A = this chain, B = another copy of it.
Amino acid sequence: MPDLGDATRGRLLFGGDYNPEQWPPEVWPQDVRLMRQAGVNLATVGVFAWAALEPVPGEYDFGWLDTVLELLHGAGIGVALATPTASPPPWLGHRHPETLPQGPDGVRRHYGSRMHYCPSAPAYRAAALAVTAALAGRYAHHPALRMWHIGNEFGTVCHCGLCAERFRGWLRTRYGDLEGLNAAWGTNVWSQRYSQWPEISPPVTVQYIGNPLQDLDFQRFSSDLLLECYIAERDAVRAAGADVPVTTNFMDFYRPVDGWRWAAEEDFVSLDTYPDPNDPRAPMLGAMSKDVMRSLGGGPWLLMEQSPGAASWRPVATPKRPGLNRLWSLQALARGADGVLHFQWRASRQGLERAHGAMLPHAGPGSRVFREICDLGAELGALSDVDGLLGADVHADVAIVLDWDAWRAVELPHQPHHEFRYVDRLTEYYEPLWNANITCDFAPATGNLGRYRLVLVPNLYQVSAVAAASLAEYVSRGGTLVLGPFSGVADPDERIYTGGWPGPLREVFGVRVEEHWPLADGASLVVESEELGPFTAGTWAEWVEVDAGAGAGADAGGASVVAAVGGGAGSGSGGPLAGRPLIFRNRYGAGTAWYVGTLPSADGLGRLLARVCADAGVGPVLDGLAPGVEAVRRGPVVFLLDHDAGTVEVRHDVLPH
């Protein structure tokens, strides 16, 4: 299969979404001239062009696209050609109302926006494949073609009868028969037992709260159903014979689409990333999102969309300050991207995104934004000449476990704390490492963990037997593992483990959690620790017992207590948890397993992870940097990104590789 290298062809990619159908043809040559001026070498074309390509059903108009591709190719600019299937033309929804997605309330979501398709509707699928096949047939061998971009930001969920039918099929595959489904869904609770398949539907508006596994399975199904749409289009463009890679664009931390399953079907992964310029944590969150992409793809990836200015959907759409787009672009490079694209090339004058930033803003080429774009293009050109940077991997000694099922399940309704958000948990663990310039990967719990010195699992609410075995084996062979609270609670069928938590991982950690103890809003605990010093914790605690007899593999005494709630029992100051242990360390086989039964303050968690890293022999890329300076090594280059002053230092010949 082709990979991203077949698209980069030796140069870092630079450019953005280009929507020529929004402009009269006389603008196109200006566009190409300004693209060349800016150093653009890739344009994403056709993302929302279905109505322009097929203005009436079955009649294609490729003339304008032929012209555009010739113009681009003539200027040496490559093309990421999109299948335009994310936004069907009004004629489809008007003729086939069943292609419009339906909410849980039974109301169809009308056309006139975008993403308005039922992924199950045969009429949608047929029309989408037809336009895809026509496009692929015409352009598969076009010399400008560098990659296929399937759809856009997949995520539409539909609750209609056609989806219900597909959902039942998915459930039959998963559970075999109705008894299997009834057992898994626990339908004996609240008299929900199904007596026939047609009784089963997606989770729709109910009187109170619905079945949690129905909800979870529908999330799984919806991701799989969209993946099926993606695969069908991917296979159609591949069938046309192109030898360029295929991708689709992910979004930052997006629960509806299971990244691991999707990435496996892409030739490389790509990201649309929009950190908030007003958020002081944006540099860290951006780094994290980029590390996730590198990890999902297992190698170089593509920054497909970022805004050179404001993101118009944000309530307060502040633009990027001078230098910020360069800084975050280089952060992408540092963290494994082989190209930096933007949404979009020329700012739209109309439509919902008319206030969105662009490489060529409304103010025109005589603007600070366009000047910075030109500078960035030149800089990327120079970096393309650095030996060994393009295509290089990024090394990490630490992995954070990222699991879509744990994410979905821990955020189901009526969990013990309604604001326990999975991505917050991951961020809490990622942040101190980022502050310390310790590079991290993300990994599935069942991945090849043995290559990491340290594995962090901030939360693993759902854990399968296979995942538990993988983690146990990692520790037993000498690894260091840290597990956060509310983990090992449920199996993949959302069935609570009995006998104490973290369920199948109790032996590894030498503890037994008896009770989850969410804390009232605003309440906090003082945690005391000889090793770590005192710190506070909030939102969550647990009633944990050291589990001396947890099994053959555990030390005789169970885990050691590293930290406990302050205040003697009964003193009142610590409340009912006074004196109770919260953080534990356990020897398991050749390794070490830490259990953290609370959510420490940033300061406390920072101290804990510093200790864990030191013990595990994990160190920073560079020592002694000022706060706010991010250091990442990629191949021969160490990137030093100063997020306070917005300057970037790129070194590639001083430091040993």
Q: Which residues of B contact A106 (CB under 8 A)?
A: 107
Q: Which residues of B contact A531 (CB under 8 A)?
A: none
Q: Is A191 an interface residue (CB 8 A)?
A: yes
CA gap between A414 and B357 in the complex, in Å: 13
Q: Is A611 an interface residue (CB 8 A)?
A: no
Question: Is the CB–CB distance between A88 and B191 below 8 Å?
Answer: yes
Q: Is A255 an interface residue (CB 8 A)?
A: no
Minimal beta-carbon separation of A474 from chain B (angstroms):
26
CA gap between A496 and B189 in the complex, in Å: 48
Within 8 A of B (CB), among A165-221: 185-196, 198-201, 203-214
Q: Is A55 an interface residue (CB 8 A)?
A: yes
Within 8 A of B (CB), among A212-254: 212-214
- The contact string, 1 if C-beta is below 8 Å from chain B, for chain A 544-585, is 000000000000000000000000000010011000000000
Question: Is the CB–CB distance between B496 and A354 below 8 Å?
Answer: yes
- The contact string, 1 if C-beta is below 8 Å from chain B, for chain A 406-420, is 000000011111110
Question: Is the CB–CB distance between A209 and B500 below 8 Å?
Answer: no
Question: Is the CB–CB distance between B515 and A206 below 8 Å?
Answer: no
Q: Which residues of B contact A19 (CB under 8 A)?
A: 188-189
* Choice from B94, B101, B315, B418 contacting A315 with Cβ under 8 Å: B418
Question: Is the CB–CB distance between B208 and A115 below 8 Å?
Answer: yes
Q: Is A514 an interface residue (CB 8 A)?
A: yes
Can you name the residue of chain B whose Cβ is closest to the Cβ of A350?
B186
Within 8 A of B (CB), among A47-65: 48-52, 55-56
Binds B, one of A293-301, A334-342, A361-369: A361-369
Can you name the residue of chain B whose Cβ is closest to the Cβ of A57?
B195
- In the complex with contacts A191-B87, A191-B88, A500-B363, A355-B414 CB distance below 8 A: yes
Report whether over half of chain A's contact residues are helix, strand or loop; otherwise say mixed.
loop
CA gap between A91 and B178 in the complex, in Å: 14
Can you name the residue of chain B whose Cβ is closest to the Cβ of A318?
B518
Question: Is the CB–CB distance between A416 and B310 below 8 Å?
Answer: yes
Can you name the residue of chain B whose Cβ is closest to the Cβ of A413?
B352
Minimal beta-carbon separation of A310 from chain B (angstroms):
6
CA gap between A518 and B114 in the complex, in Å: 26
Q: Is A317 an interface residue (CB 8 A)?
A: yes
Q: Which residues of B contact A90 (CB under 8 A)?
A: 192-195, 199-200
CA gap between A362 and B116 in the complex, in Å: 44
CA gap between A52 and B186 in the complex, in Å: 12
Q: Is A319 an interface residue (CB 8 A)?
A: yes
Q: Is A494 an interface residue (CB 8 A)?
A: yes
Within 8 A of B (CB), among A87-123: 87-91, 94, 101, 103, 105-116
Q: Which residues of B contact A348 (CB under 8 A)?
A: 186, 189, 496
Q: Which residues of B contact A210 (CB under 8 A)?
A: 112-113, 352
- In the complex with contacts A112-B206, A207-B114, A210-B113, A515-B363 CB distance below 8 A: yes
Q: Is A353 an interface residue (CB 8 A)?
A: yes
CA gap between A500 and B347 in the complex, in Å: 12
CA gap between A214 and B351 in the complex, in Å: 10
Question: Is the CB–CB distance between B519 and A207 below 8 Å?
Answer: no
Q: Is A21 an interface residue (CB 8 A)?
A: yes
CA gap between A272 and B550 in the complex, in Å: 38
Question: For A204, A349, A493, which residue has the most chain B Cβ atoms within 10 angstroms?
Answer: A349
Question: Is the CB–CB distance between B350 and A496 below 8 Å?
Answer: yes
Q: Which residues of B contact A494 (CB under 8 A)?
A: 350, 354
Q: Which residues of B contact A498 (CB under 8 A)?
A: 349, 362-364
* Choice from B103, B312, B350 contacting A416 with Cβ under 8 Å: B312
CA gap between A319 and B110 in the complex, in Å: 45
Q: Is A141 an interface residue (CB 8 A)?
A: no
Question: Is the CB–CB distance between B55 and A193 below 8 Å?
Answer: yes
CA gap between A353 and B211 in the complex, in Å: 10
Within 8 A of B (CB), among A322-360: 322, 347-355
Q: Is A156 an interface residue (CB 8 A)?
A: yes
* Choice from B212, B214, B316 contacting A519 with Cβ under 8 Å: B316
* Choice from B51, B211, B321, B355 contacting A191 with Cβ under 8 Å: B51
Question: Is the CB–CB distance between B364 and A188 below 8 Å?
Answer: no
Q: Which residues of B contact A114 (CB under 8 A)?
A: 190-191, 207-208
- In the complex with contacts A414-B313, A499-B364, A517-B319, A209-B91 CB distance below 8 A: no
Minimal beta-carbon separation of A557 from chain B (angstroms):
18
Q: Is A11 an interface residue (CB 8 A)?
A: no
- In the complex with contacts A22-B188, A194-B90, A316-B518, A212-B512 CB distance below 8 A: no
Q: Is A497 an interface residue (CB 8 A)?
A: yes
Minimal beta-carbon separation of A135 from chain B (angstroms):
14
Q: Is A485 an interface residue (CB 8 A)?
A: no
Question: Is the CB–CB distance between B199 and A91 below 8 Å?
Answer: yes
Q: Which residues of B contact A501 (CB under 8 A)?
A: 362
Q: Is A73 an interface residue (CB 8 A)?
A: no
Question: Is the CB–CB distance between A495 and B191 below 8 Å?
Answer: no
CA gap between A110 and B48 in the complex, in Å: 36
Can you name the residue of chain B whose Cβ is closest to the Cβ of A214?
B112
CA gap between A363 and B201 in the complex, in Å: 34
* Choice from B108, B189, B278, B415 contacting A350 with Cβ under 8 Å: B189
Can you name the residue of chain B whose Cβ is closest to the Cβ of A499?
B364
- The contact string, 1 if C-beta is below 8 Å from chain B, for chain A 113-140, is 1111000000000000000000000000
Question: Is the CB–CB distance between A156 and B207 below 8 Å?
Answer: yes
17 chain-A/chain-B pairs, Cβ below 8 angstroms: A22-B188, A51-B195, A89-B193, A90-B199, A107-B205, A110-B201, A113-B192, A185-B350, A190-B352, A278-B520, A317-B518, A350-B494, A353-B414, A362-B497, A362-B498, A364-B499, A368-B543
Across chains A and B, which 8 residue pairs bring their CB atoms closest together, nearest first?
A186-B350, A189-B351, A321-B576, A51-B193, A113-B206, A278-B520, A109-B207, A87-B191
Given contacts A113-B190, A309-B515, 7 further A-B contacts (CB under 8 A): A51-B192, A55-B193, A105-B105, A110-B206, A115-B208, A189-B353, A213-B350
